[in-house]
Amino acid sequence: MIFAIKSIARFLRLFRKEEDGSESVEFALIFLPFILIPVSGFELGLLMTRHVMVERGLTMAVREVSLNTGIPFTDTQVKTMICNSAGIIPNCMTNLRLEMRNIDLRYTGTAATNEIPRTASCTDLESPDQAPRNYTNGQANELMIVRACGLFSPMLPEFGLGYFLSRIRGDGYYPLVASTAFVMEPV
């Protein structure tokens, strides 16, 4: 027993005196944060760019819908307007799901029939052709709420910020929601 302790102590003394490989320890400790921060920055930049482009597309489409009150737009037409204005959104027509409904500010009944659900309904990528949620065209002078939800996959789903983004829903995608309100112009 004493022999084992002495041999371990001798090994540790020799190990302490050696300086070979000391740069490797510093490199191993410092390299990961120096790579993790820029990669997460690129991931966050891509996320913000996608969100801004969905917001822009929604704003451009809403402008078109609100000024053309007499024309009933389908959800596919509105999604096409959003995707044409958004630009860099991958698989925009299948990744985006719309919700458009009117809100009556003078409504005095139960609030459940006149309010927007708290959570956005995103596309189910298993069946992307599902119907839009609460999609109704408005009449003149009605307050309309429009919400678009898209699912996107991170650039690097197993590293940095992409690791956390890919686990938000549990299926490897993260949702981006854009919403706006407008009043339909009179005819």
- Per-residue pLDDT, 109: 66
**Residue 108 pLDDT:** 65
Sheet holding 143-152, edge to edge: 96-103, 143-152, 174-183
Tokens of 18: 């050696």
* pLDDT for the residue numbered 81: 92
DSSP string, 45-63: HHHHHHHHHHHHHHHHHHH
Q: Is the dihedral of CA 104, 105, 109, 112 positive or negative?
A: positive
Res 88: pLDDT: 85
C-beta of residue 145 within 8 angstroms of C-beta of residue 100: yes
- Cβ-in-10-Å burial (0-12, 13-18, 19+) of 121 comes to middle
Name residue, tokens 């005095």: 108
DSSP letter at 125 equals T
User: How high is the pLDDT of residue 58?
Assistant: 93
User: Which residue ranges make up each domain of the chain?
Assistant: 24-183
69 φ/ψ sector (left φ>0, alpha ψ -120 to 50, else beta):
alpha
Q: How many residues does the chain have?
A: 187
Cα–Cα distance, 62 to 77 (Å, whole number): 11
Confidence (pLDDT) at 128:
63
Regarding pTM above 0.75, the answer is yes
* pLDDT tens-digit profile, the chain (187 residues): 777 888 888 877 776 666 666 677 788 888 888 899 999 999 999 999 999 999 999 999 999 888 887 788 888 899 999 999 988 888 888 888 888 888 877 766 666 566 777 777 777 667 766 777 778 887 778 888 899 988 899 998 888 899 999 898 888 889 999 999 988 877 6
For position 110, what pLDDT does the model report? 67
Rg (CA), the chain: 27
Q: Which pLDDT value is given to residue 28?
A: 81
